[in-house]
Structure 1
């Protein structure tokens, strides 16, 4: 099968497509014929430096989220899964490939009426957004600032916060991304690349911090007493690093995610169902073939993408 190999850490060009052995499903596993593989910002960081949540020895096939059709079942697995459209995680590696062998109990059925590429776009980003909303609890009367509001997680946070009754202030970089955030329901949009962007923004009750660094610290300064801030990303290259004592002095609660397997499953099923019902729209900004995984990583790192970036593998994925 075709796959993308990571043999050394470095720039996007270290991702090279080539041949790999076909995986064979073992007990409790299924073989998925992959149509789409998702790419996350964390994967670009891992590729560059080897740092991140993944633990793998080189050479390896990167990729952690895929969607496709169950083509084979291993011993002890219900044959009724054959032919089902599913999305699933791979455990941190192996996703940039035409086929993956994964645990059957980690599969999520793709609901009728939901396109497979949209389901893959929701797998990691959607459940993260849903758990962030659950943690911060925005509701009617709240002003909510969403950083990186045109990104994979941010674009979903905008929609979920609006659905919860909150007024959303979207922070993103550039006119196109600000326009997208407004289209998704944001009442206000500010360009965080502009000097002093936070000075003209009214106070907020909740901050979803997906950028970190100076942007995250400026957003923290906008929080009113009783506000909540939850950090979920560091696209700036560093966390916001807000001291706990400073937050306490201002009456602000700093929140984090400690997801359990049950919470992850509930959040994933929720966003898949919401999207199938037409109440949640995953934004897919870029689809590239498997052989162009390096270009996909480069686009993400250059901040040239909106929403989710996918690798399209199967012929059916072109439709």
Structure 2
């Protein structure tokens, strides 16, 4: 079986195609023939050796925390009716492979009207976007800032906020991403790599700021986005590619009445994760949510996929096709 293995921490080049024994589904598991594997920014962090205590994996290991494909075998205690069904599933690892053993409890059937790559694109970011949106309680006519609006979750948050009747501002890097974000429903866009982007956005709200801020960047840009929150706003920080999760000054947010949510709001237990994924897949199948697959790479070119993610080259999701 073809898979991608990390034999030592480092840059994208440590993602190496290898031949491994095919996994056997254990009790309560199925074997999935992978069509598409999700890729995540955090997987580049783990691969580089900076996962810390949160991700204590050690080489050699096969990365990958989510796949979409077809069930080809079942383990003990699993109904044979799963064989032949199209499914999406989060996995504790091992997703960068042609076949993966997955817990039956983690399986989400993929609706007939939805492609498997699109299902893979929603495994994490679809659930994340819906969880954030539920927590934010966005209302019609509110000012909503999405940062980064060109990311896998960001493109979905733009659509959700637009659908709720909010005035949506999408912040992203580069003209191509900004154009795509406008096409998804953003009323205004800003390039957060440009000097003074935050001042321009504050001015666009008449100096008042935003009612809801979704921050998936962190670092300096995340701190700037928190400063753009209006008094009484809801701020949801869920990402850290900018250099760490945004740290909120507790006295300041209390004084301004800002409701702050961190990454914990989308760290679902397994049952909730399945429910949110199912909601995202159904919404996409019905045309109410459009996952954006910016680039796909063959499994053997996983190193190029990670380089594209780290280089912020892709709008939406980057997937591996097995």
The answer to whether TM tops 0.5 is yes
Q: Look up the match of 1:113.
A: 113
Map 1:20-99 to 2 at 5 A.
Answer: 20-51=20-51, 53-91=54-92, 93-99=93-99
Q: Look up the match of 2:310.
A: 301
Deviations 1:40-80 (A, max 9, x none): 00001110124154343321101011010000011110000
Aligned 8 A contact 1:205 1:224 in 2: yes
Which whole-Å CA distance do the structure 1 matches of 2:122 and 2:15 have between them? Answer: 24
2:256 is the alignment partner of 1:250: yes
Q: Look up the match of 2:7.
A: 7
Aligned 8 A contact 1:244 1:254 in 2: no
Aligned 8 A contact 2:107 2:274 in 1: no
Which whole-Å CA distance do the structure 2 matches of 1:55 and 1:231 have between them? Answer: 23
Aligned 8 A contact 2:30 2:72 in 1: yes
Report deviation, 1:296.
0.3
Which whole-Å CA distance do the structure 2 matches of 1:232 and 1:172 have between them? Answer: 16
Map 1:1-319 to 2 at 5 A.
Answer: 1-51=1-51, 53-91=54-92, 93-201=93-201, 202=205, 203-256=209-262, 257=265, 258-313=267-322
Which whole-Å CA distance do the structure 2 matches of 1:170 and 1:198 have between them? Answer: 12
Report deviation, 1:260.
3.1
Report deviation, 1:38.
0.7
* 2:105 counterpart SS class: helix
* 1:72 counterpart SS class: strand
Deviations 1:189-240 (A, max 9, x none): 0110111101111221010001111111111111111101010101212222
Deviations 1:65-98 (A, max 9, x none): 101000001111000010000000111x100000
Report deviation, 1:266.
2.1
* 1:49 counterpart SS class: coil
* 2:169 counterpart SS class: strand
Which whole-Å CA distance do the structure 2 matches of 1:301 and 1:265 have between them? Answer: 28
Which whole-Å CA distance do the structure 2 matches of 1:285 and 1:115 have between them? Answer: 15
Aligned residue pairs total 312
Which whole-Å CA distance do the structure 1 matches of 2:104 and 2:222 have between them? Answer: 39
Aligned 8 A contact 1:37 1:63 in 2: yes
Which whole-Å CA distance do the structure 2 matches of 1:232 and 1:50 have between them? Answer: 18
* 1:176 counterpart SS class: helix
Which whole-Å CA distance do the structure 2 matches of 1:101 and 1:120 have between them? Answer: 16
Which whole-Å CA distance do the structure 1 matches of 2:199 and 2:2 have between them? Answer: 51
Q: Look up the match of 1:317.
A: none
The CA RMSD over aligned residues, in Å, is: 1.1
Q: Which runs of 5+ in 2 are unaligned?
A: none
